Amino acid sequence: DAGVTQSPTHLIKTRGQQVTLRCSPISGHKSVSWYQQVLGQGPQFIFQYYEKEERGRGNFPDRFSARQFPNYSSELNVNALLLGDSALYLCASSLRGQSNQPQHFGDGTRLSIL
């Protein structure tokens, strides 16, 4: 079975632009979470979606938004990009997003802002 897939792998943008990152969960998984990992730090929680509804949000500005589609895939959108948005963006899926269920991560999208 395929794992969590993310696209694109790498992305280069300039300040002020907008970006959309995509994620396909493991088949059968209905919960998707997004994380930002700045170099040298642990992942920071951005969003969690379950059954197409937002179930959790981290301390990120409104420039960050996401959605989940009927097939449980997800997109993360970031508007008005800043230099500080340069990071590895990780998507993770789990069966239902409960506290006793491990999350399985994709390989991430490395976003560089020039």
Binding-site ranges for other proteins (CB under 8 A): 31, 33, 35, 41-45, 48, 50, 55-58, 88, 90, 92, 97-108, 110
Q: Is the peptide bond before 70 cis (omega within 30 degrees of 0)?
A: no
**CA neighbor of 71 nearest in space, from 102, 105, 41, 26:** 26
C-beta closer to other proteins: residue 40 or 84:
40
C-beta closer to other proteins: residue 78 or 94:
94
The nearest distance, CB 18 to other proteins, in angstroms, is 24
Residue 18 sits at the vertex; the CA angle it makes with 14 and 23, to the nearest 5 degrees, is 115
